[in-house]
Amino acid sequence: MNVLAIDTVSRCCSVAISYRGVVRQEKTIGDRIHSSRLLGLVEQVLEWHRIGLQDIDLIVVDTGPGSFTGVRVGMGVAQGLAYGVGIDTCGVNSLAILAAGCGPGIVVPVIDARMGQVYTGAYSVSPTGLWEEVHAPVVCYPEKMAFLENETWLAVGDGWQMYRERLIRGCRNKPVFRDDCLYPEARFAISAVLDLDMGIMSSPLQLAASYIRNDVADKPVSCPSTGH
C-alpha cells in the first residue's frame, strides 16, 4: 500500500510518503507556518518519488491532540486531497504516533497543551507489532499525572522537555528519555498504520479530530490510575 501521511499538530510540520516500501519525509519547524508550507511539502515528497496523488492508496493524518489550528490545517488538507482522488483517510492520534516512533516498550508521550497543561497517555508496543493503549489520552496538569509503577518506560514528547524536572520528582522509577522523539511526525504516522495497525479508517468527510480538551469537563482532570 502506498501511503501519504500529514502531521501538523505541533511546531513540526511534516509530510511523508511510503511508496513501494520506501519512506521519504520532508519537514519544517516553526510557529504559524503550517498553512503556508504544507502543500509545498506534499509536492516535494511526491516529486522525490516521481509520482502523483493518483498513485497514493491512503492518506494518513494526525488528528490531535495538539494545536487546534494545526489539527484543522492538517485534516482539511488531508480531506481535500483524499476527496479529490477518491481514496480513504486514516486518522491517528498524536500520542499514538509518538509511541509508534519509539519501537518496543512502554511509552508515555507527553505533549505541551499550553496553559500549564499536557496531553498524555501510555502505550505498550511489543517487538511483534502488537500494541495496547495502557492509558487513554487525557489532558491534565503535569503534577497530576499518574505514572506506571514497576516498569521501565520511555518518556517522549515536547511536554517532557518542558516539564522534565517537575515530572521526574513525581516518578517512582526514573524514565528513559528519548529526546530524538520530540514531536509527532508523518513518518511515525506511517509506521503506526502500516506496522502497528493503529488509526481509524474512514472516508474523507467522516474524518474526526481528537481534540481531547473538548471531551473533558470545564477543567483538566487527573490521569487515571494504572491499577499496578
pLDDT digits (tens, 9 = 90+) for 164-205: 887 776 666 777 888 888 999 999 999 999 999 999 999 999
The neighbouring-strand residues paired with 18 are 3, 23
Record the pTM.
0.90
The neighbouring-strand residues paired with 205 are none
**C-alpha cell belonging to residue 170:** 513525581
CA–CA–CA angle 220, 224, 227 (5° rounding): 165
Q: Is 103 left (phi over 0), alpha (psi -120 to 50) or beta?
A: left
Q: CATH number of the domain at 95-177, out of 3.90.1170.50, 3.30.420.40, 3.30.390.50, 3.30.70.260?
A: 3.30.420.40
Q: 12: part of which helix (H) or strand (E)? A: strand 12-19
Domain ranges of the chain: 3-93+184-209, 95-177
Which architecture characterizes domain 3-93+184-209 according to CATH? 2-Layer Sandwich (3.30)
Nearest to 17 by CA among 182, 208, 47, 8: 47
The radius of gyration computed from the CA coordinates of the chain, to the nearest angstrom, equals 17
Q: What is the structure's pLDDT at 148?
A: 61
User: Would you say the CATH fold of 95-177 matches that of 3-93+184-209?
Assistant: yes
Q: How far apart are CA 171 and CA 67, in angstroms?
A: 27
DSSP 107-137: EEEEEE-STT-EEEEEEEE-TTS-EEEEEEE
Residues in the chain: 228
Instruction: Judge contact between 34 and 13, C-beta under 8 A.
Output: yes
Q: What is the structure's pLDDT at 170?
A: 62
Residues of the chain with pLDDT under 70: 146-151, 169-172, 214-228
Q: 34: part of which helix (H) or strand (E)? A: helix 34-49
